[in-house]
Amino acid sequence: MRSKFAKLVFYIALILVCVLVAYFLANWLFTTVPIEGPSMEPTIHDGDTVILYKQGKYERGDVVIFNTHKLDPDGKERYYVKRIIALGGDTVEIKADTDGVYRIFVNGEAIDEPYLGEGIPSARVADASTLITVPDGQFYFCGDNRLNSEDSRSGLLCNVDDIVGRVILRYVQDDGIGDISLIKRPYALLPAA
């Protein structure tokens, strides 16, 4: 009788621990978010679902979701998914490179953006800007679909504290078949010195 009671208590405790661990992972470390809009194509598409890692430091090149503190037409807060191009203290300028192509320069160096799709420019002539310094605690962000993205090129900056998390996986479901792909951190946006 005693051993059956001990087993029952053990199994109940095990189930409670599993529930608590699942709750902790789902609410403190990870969360899933459905994506609306094409601003991150080809990396993330409209209709994809992404998994965010909610802890850690953020680096140039990370794809993040953050609160813009703007309201959508329904009165809900708007969240953006974008790529961090520069962090607080970095200088950013959009200008023509030596080959005449407009690019984003961070701290005087043209950034390397292999994640942009074939034929997607890093920047356009219309994006040309004066040199800005990103204030401490904020970040400069761009969508990977530079032709269809509202981002820092129009003067928007956001606080690092408003980041919900870094995208680590995207899930696509087409015709009932799922596809999961890892969203890797680029080794570096800036070329090696």
Q: Any idea which residues carry the catalytic annotation?
A: 39, 82
| 71-108 burial code (b ≥16 CB/10 A, e <16) | eeeeeeeebbbbbbbbbeebebbbbeeeeeebbbbbee
Q: How far apart are CA 180 and CA 32, in angstroms?
A: 13
Q: How far apart are CA 170 and CA 141, in angstroms?
A: 19
- If we measure between CA atoms, which residue out of 125, 130, 57 comes closest to residue 88? 57
